[in-house]
Amino acid sequence: MTKVITYGTYDLLHQGHINLLKRAKSLGNYLIVGVTNDNFDRERGKLNVRNNVLERIEAVKATGLADEIIIEDYVGQKIDDIQKYEVDIFAIGSDWEGKFDYLKEFCKVVYLPRTKGISSTLLRNESQSSVKVGIIGLGRIAKRFVTEAKFVSGLEIRSVFDINKTQIDNFSTENNIPNSYYDLDSFFSSIDAVYIASPHLSHYEYIKQGLEAKKHILCETPLVLNGCQARELYTIAERKKLVLMEANKTAHCPAFNHLMVMIKSGVIGEVVDIEASLSKLLIDKTLREFDKEQAGGSMYELGSYPLLPIIKLLGTEYQNLNIYSRMENMVDIYTKGVLKYPTAICSFKLGLGVKTEGNLVISGTKGYAYVPAPWWKTDYFELRYEDQNENKKFFYKWDGAGLRYEIQEFMSCIYNNRLNSVRLRPSESIAMADIMQQFTERKNLMEL
């Protein structure tokens, strides 16, 4: 038997892909197709991939040409795969001519002719008109959004809105955004989707008005501070078939997602404890973060991040939550929460003006995962065991401010008609809002 292996992204599977697979198949008796995973594509800068890895695998499977499909996860995997599967021929498109000659040490390398005049890039350019995006709230995070959006294809920032006229004029001029609006209805009529980066307490009204105007919504975290409001908003989005997504950048971080998948697969056994911490040592007490009228305090400002791994791994059905806070001028400068699940206990620590070790530790019956500070921008983590020889370290790339990952997922949801993302499901976002509401209502809360 002659085994052939080939690799590709196979985004927007087209006739060129099919022709290449047929040519590879004709070289032998058994064709193995390697499909690059989402994280690997990101590391190579491919934030323009339209279909996720599962969709791309299904598309390749539907051709009936692949005898076996594998996922390409890391640089250097081709050598490992060739040896593992005892491959005779490595086949790849002729646009890679010479790039894979190093594999000749392990098998025969064949460069196959490409189908002229067709590619995924051309199809994307022809089939998609850019999503016109508007920004509400023009503070610090909005500036990062403009910078990060340049790394994602398929969107165009067209309009800005803010209640501060001077801020609108300055922002649009500095960032070359063509349209500035002081009227919300006019703003909505100029765009297809909205990025909301306004203060926390304004999120609910802006999201609701945006959904009623039939716009897709990406809103900064926390989405809202009330579970009932979160349920209402997701219900409206579903009814109107619109994407509503909470912009928690950690949830879309490649390394964090890989960690969650590994933990769920049982690499450290059953999870029995999670400790997550996040703090900022802010000295200036005149900042918005310390203003009770603007939902200041560590819980509202930071809480959604350490809650993320807890809810992702153990779900939304916790049995009890106790909260302990140190208050100053009616805002919490330090908060610790303890959640009890049927078979696990979890805690999170938050600080504004109080500094704590900002790491993440997930303890299991076989070992534990350790993510050093700042864990929320995960680029490295370890799996540790009783036998230290079994310990493993994982390194990843974190690009820029990290917003490009959530922007790419938002665009992918819109283009593929997926109303929400598995990286932060509506039920998980609602659970976070429920916890914010419990804090607001001072249930099970003890002040220090």
Q: What six digits make up the tokens of 340?
A: 């009890």
* pLDDT given at position 119: 54
Residue range(s) occupied by CATH 3.40.50.720 in the chain: 128-250
Answer whether residue 54 shows pLDDT above 90: no
The secondary structure element, H or E, covering residue 408 is helix 403-415
Given a contact cutoff of 8 angstroms between Cβ atoms, the answer to whether 256 and 231 are in contact is no
Q: What would be the CATH architecture of the domain defined by 3-122?
A: 3-Layer(aba) Sandwich (3.40)
Nearest one of 67, 198, 213 to 145, comparing CA atoms: 198
Query: Residues 36-41: contacts with CB within 8 Å, 24+ apart?
Result: 36/7, 36/8, 36/9, 36/71, 36/72, 37/71, 37/72, 37/73, 38/254, 39/73, 39/254, 39/255, 39/257, 39/258, 39/396, 40/72, 40/73, 40/74, 41/9
Q: What six digits make up the tokens of 301?
A: 């400002």
* pLDDT given at position 49: 56
CA distance linking residue 49 with residue 120, whole number of Å? 9
pLDDT above 70 as % of the chain: 94
CA distance linking residue 254 with residue 402, whole number of Å? 10
* pLDDT given at position 12: 78
Residue count of the chain: 448
Q: Phi/psi of residue 282, each to 5°?
A: -95, 120
Answer whether residue 343 shows pLDDT above 80: yes
What's the pTM?
0.81
Q: What is the DSSP string of 345-396?
A: EEEEEEEESS-----EEEEESS-EEEE-SSGGG-SEEEEE-SSGGG-EEEE-
* pLDDT given at position 272: 98
Summarize pLDDT for 369-390 with one digit per residue, the tens: 999 999 999 889 999 999 999 9
Strand partners, 154: none
Q: Which CATH superfamily is domain 128-250 in?
A: NAD(P)-binding Rossmann-like Domain (3.40.50.720)
Summarize pLDDT for 396-445 with one digit per residue, the tens: 878 888 899 999 899 989 988 899 999 999 999 999 999 999 999 999 99
Summarize pLDDT for 295-325 with one digit per residue, the tens: 999 999 999 999 999 999 999 999 999 999 9
* pLDDT given at position 52: 73
* pLDDT given at position 115: 77
CA max distance for the chain: 76
Given a contact cutoff of 8 angstroms between Cβ atoms, the answer to whether 15 and 120 are in contact is no
What mean pLDDT, rounded, does the chain reach? 91
Residue range(s) occupied by CATH 3.40.50.620 in the chain: 3-122
Q: What is the DSSP string of 155-192?
A: EEEEEEE-S-HHHHHHHHHHTT-SEEESSHHHHHHT-S
* pLDDT given at position 332: 96
Tell me what the mean pLDDT of segment 35-59 comes to. 69
Q: What six digits make up the tokens of 295?
A: 């939902």
Summarize pLDDT for 178-220 with one digit per residue, the tens: 999 999 999 999 999 999 999 999 999 999 999 999 999 999 9
* pLDDT given at position 92: 95
The CATH code of the domain at 256-397 is 3.30.360.10
Q: Which of 21-35, 43-57, 248-262, 377-391 has the lowest mean pLDDT?
A: 43-57
CA distance linking residue 181 with residue 196, whole number of Å? 15
* pLDDT given at position 111: 96
Summarize pLDDT for 83-142 with one digit per residue, the tens: 999 999 999 999 899 999 999 999 999 999 987 655 555 545 545 568 999 999 998 899
